[in-house]
Amino acid sequence: MQQHPFHLPLLEIPASGAQLTITDQTLWTEGIAEFHLAIEIQTPLRATVSIQKTQEGCLVEGTIEGALCIPCNRCLDPCVFPLSTHFRDFEPLPGEDEGDLVEETRIAEENGNLFLDLSGLLWEEFVLATPINPLCTPDCKGLCPQCGANRNRETCQCHEGAGDPRLAVFRSLSIPSK
Ligand SMILES: [Zn+2]
Ligand SMILES: [Zn+2]
């Protein structure tokens, strides 16, 4: 596996803490490509991170700011959403516990050294800050299910209830979206 620059050795974090500003977009673009997300970066994202080591692990606090372009969930028009999030995470040192009480952590031991997976942490915060149901406007009318016309821009000739009355029962069924 490729060594990621955001895979931080804890040894290199001074006792007074570390401050990082991340303007490199590859962290986001790689994740977006890997998970095939329909997200484009509209305004480059800027992450600021402060890491404080404690006896038990690392306190990671920071912000991610920028803007994303995401298709509307109903009409698929590209829409710009500002992204602005503040997070505060505590990552415990990997537990010695046997059994299933081991806490989840983004600190892992490799070759006798402890590393903080900052890219994984930032990616998770990015995903949490991304709109779950992006809409161009709260009352977006979406696409006509029959002809695909954007109902925000045009009134198509399709009428609900038109067509073969024997099929009407099927029209009242909702089709789960992919
Ligand atoms: Zn829309
Ligand atoms: Zn239509």
Strand partners, 61: 50, 88
User: Both 100 and 173 in a single domain?
Assistant: no
* Mean local confidence (pLDDT), 26-45: 96
Of the candidate ranges 14-28, 78-92, 126-140, 160-174, the one whose mean pLDDT is the lowest: 160-174
50 assigned to some structural domain: yes
Predicted confidence at residue 177, as pLDDT, reads 57
Q: Is the pLDDT of residue 83 over 50?
A: yes
Ligand 2 center from residue 149 Cα (angstroms)? 5
User: Both 147 and 123 in a single domain?
Assistant: no
Q: Is the pLDDT of residue 3 over 50?
A: no
Predicted confidence at residue 104, as pLDDT, reads 85
32 assigned to some structural domain: yes
User: Both 93 and 159 in a single domain?
Assistant: no
* Domains: count for the chain: 2
Q: Is the pLDDT of residue 1 over 60?
A: no
- Predicted TM-score (pTM) of the model is 0.80
pLDDT tens, position by position, 135-144: 999 999 999 9
Across 138-168, b (16+ Cβ under 10 Å) vs e yields: eebeebbeeeebbebeeeeeeeeeeeeeeee
Ligand 2 center from residue 2 Cα (angstroms)? 49
User: Both 173 and 120 in a single domain?
Assistant: no
30 assigned to some structural domain: yes
2 assigned to some structural domain: no
User: Both 69 and 151 in a single domain?
Assistant: no
Of the listed ligands, the closest to the CA of 79 is: 1
82 assigned to some structural domain: yes
Q: Is the pLDDT of residue 2 over 70?
A: no
Ligand 2 center from residue 147 Cα (angstroms)? 4
Q: State the burial class of residue 23 (Cβ atoms within 10 Å of its Cβ: 0-12, 13-18, 19+).
A: exposed
Strand partners, 51: 18, 60
Strands of the chain (E only): list them.
7-9, 18-22, 40-53, 57-71, 78-92, 107-110, 113-117
- Residue 3, φ and ψ in degrees, nearest 5: -75, 120
User: Both 104 and 74 in a single domain?
Assistant: yes
Ligand 2 center from residue 74 Cα (angstroms)? 14
